[in-house]
Amino acid sequence: MVKKPSNKGPESIPSQGKKKSLWLRALRLSSLLMLWLGLALLVLTAYYAWDLPDVDNYEKQTRRPIITILAADNTVITTYGDVYDKAVKFNEVPPYLIQSIIATEDRRFFSHIGVDVFGMVRAALANVRAKRIRQGGSTLTQQLAKNLFLTPERSMRRKIQEILLAFWLETRFSKRQIITLYLNRVYLGVGTFGVAAAARRYFGKSIKNISLKEAALLSGLLKAPSRYSPFRNKKLSLKRANQVLTNMFVAGFLSKSDVQRAKAEVIKLANQKSGSGARYFADWLLQRAFGFVGKGNQDLIIKTTLSPYLQNIGEQQVRNSLKKDGKALRVGQAALVSLSPDGAIRAMVGGRRYAASQFNRVNQALRQPGSAFKLFVYVAALESGLKPNDIVIDEPISIDGWKPKNYTGKFLGPVTLRRALSESINTVAVKVSEKIGREKVIKVAHKLGITAKLKGHPSIALGVDGVNLLDLTSAYALFANRGYPAWPYGIIEIRNKKNEILYRRSRVLAGRLVQKK
């Protein structure tokens, strides 16, 4: 039988060989590239591993000192610093708290070796799709490594070190030990570290007594402690807690009926003795406390002059005033401060809501006092020898082209200084200021407690320079005190944790600043 000749010509053989050669070259090139990338990653890892922190000091806790601010009746206004409770053991924590954390933060915790590759890939894909960082791929072990050893910076160096330290933790400790360390060190907002401290801060109870929904709320804080804080936004916090409960159902920890019962539970938060607005006062107070005892590492207890009763009334008055007149006056903020005759601050409200704005409008905002400043003009006039019954002409005036007008648009002619002050006549106040000298007015204002820088222009008599509310209130209190100053203060005493007195305010006997005329 004669064999049929092949249809393929000799020219087709080199073509196949050429394709095979190109494929082999591509394989060699990609293998070489992967080898070099692997070597580069190995060198980079070794470099960052050389700079790892001292892992033997993982048990040491470095924290900011706790500063407790007390009201005059010894109720707690607020606490600054890092608050830890007694370390809890694994079997002291309700199982559903651990389950809620695992369901929300790291579902493969008990199966991975410190790093969850699938979780990292999933997070990366989600972030690419969203074109922003929406998910993190860190495991609980990685989070613990960061909490124990690293800074919050975001860099390749820190991420590689985090992964290496996570591997070290997994080889050194059991899963139970890792989750227990995590529970005792994790930050949960309002200065609290660890679930035990958070349970007392948010619910006023021991960690072993928290409910399923309370556990879900704590777990929900892990994503963003400040944003989801129930003290700041309870509605958002509960919404997040419900999402955690759903996560537990998806992970197989809860049944549908368990989730429904938990979602129906009403959470009662721990009492906040003074209104949240008292934080304005506490912030103002803190720097003054450091001025008395210095910035050290010891815990402090600061007793203050604040009255919780008056503070709550003050906050309510600010809210009511803004609700009633805010829209008509086109203002969205207000402030209030209340002093006793000796200058003790009894209430301070720096704004509508502290959580929305920490700017304290009592002492940080400079506002034009307007006619309230005329008091300093007339005190300066009396100190310069003028008398309350001296006559000044209320008439049109012009100073360097500036022509002040009265609110009524009228001029009254001859008036006494007493009448000019009581009727708040602008032209007379300016005339008096010009007669005695603007620098004299500024000097008197500073003597009576105004700390703002004042400019010596003609309109100073009409209160165009900004002053703060605390200074102005203190200066006016002087006249209620028959000329004796009411320098504002808020600290009664400062003690350390051993109950040793570090500072106690002594009675200040100040001389009369304004004599009776």
Per the domain annotation, does 497 fall within a domain? no
Global pTM value: 0.71
CATH number at 374 reads 3.40.710.10
pLDDT at 43: 54
437 vs 355 pLDDT, higher one: 437
Per the domain annotation, does 394 fall within a domain? yes
pLDDT at 498: 92
CA 492/CA 496 separation, integer angstroms: 14
Per the domain annotation, does 164 fall within a domain? yes
Of the three residues 213, 241, 264, the one that is the final residue of a domain is 264
Per the domain annotation, does 356 fall within a domain? no
Over residues 39-68, the mean pLDDT reads: 62
Owning domain of residue 421:
370-467
The answer, yes or no, to whether residue 274 has pLDDT greater than 60, is no
pLDDT at 175: 96
- 253 & 379 share domain: no
Over residues 271-275, the mean pLDDT reads: 58
* pLDDT-based confidence at residue 148 (cuts at 50, 70, 90): confident
459 vs 33 pLDDT, higher one: 459
Region of poorest pLDDT, from 47-56, 93-102, 439-448: 47-56
- 247 & 389 share domain: no
Q: Kindly write down the DSSP assignment for every residue of 409-469, as one continuous string.
A: S---EEEEHHHHHHTT-HHHHHHHHHHH-HHHHHHHHHHTT--S-----GGGGGT-S-B-H
Per the domain annotation, does 475 fall within a domain? no
pLDDT digit string (tens) for 110-137?
A: 999 888 877 666 655 665 565 655 555 6
Of the three residues 231, 264, 297, the one that is the final residue of a domain is 264
The answer, yes or no, to whether residue 8 has pLDDT greater than 90, is no
- 244 & 386 share domain: no
- 259 & 374 share domain: no
pLDDT digit string (tens) for 186-231?
A: 999 988 999 999 999 999 999 999 999 999 999 999 999 999 999 9
pLDDT at 510: 72
Amino acid, res. 471:
D
Q: Which helix (H) or strand (E) holds 241?
A: helix 234-250
Is 500 noted as a catalytic residue in this protein? no
CA 447/CA 453 separation, integer angstroms: 13
- 259 & 388 share domain: no
Per the domain annotation, does 10 fall within a domain? no
β-sheet bridge partners, residue 399: 402
pLDDT at 119: 67
* pLDDT-based confidence at residue 261 (cuts at 50, 70, 90): very high
Catalytic residue among 100, 105, 274, 315: 105
Classify 393 as helix, strand or coil.
strand
pLDDT at 10: 47
Of the three residues 264, 297, 318, the one that is the final residue of a domain is 264
Per the domain annotation, does 337 fall within a domain? no
- The total domain count for the chain is 2
CA distances in angstroms from 500 to 28, 301, 306, 495, 497, listed in the order given: 76, 10, 22, 5, 7
- 375 & 258 share domain: no
User: What average pLDDT does the chain have?
Assistant: 87
Catalogue the long-range contacts made by 53-62 (C-beta closer than 8 Å, 24 or more residues apart): 53/149, 53/150, 53/161, 55/149, 55/165, 55/168, 58/148, 58/149, 58/181, 61/185
Catalytic residue among 371, 384, 424, 459: 371
The answer, yes or no, to whether residue 359 has pLDDT greater than 70, is yes
pLDDT at 399: 95
CATH number at 169 reads 1.10.3810.10
pLDDT at 463: 96
pLDDT digit string (tens) for 74-115?
A: 998 988 888 888 899 999 999 999 999 999 999 999 999 888
- 259 & 389 share domain: no
Instruction: Note whether 219 and 198 are within 8 A (CB).
Output: no
Is 338 noted as a catalytic residue in this protein? no
Per the domain annotation, does 456 fall within a domain? yes
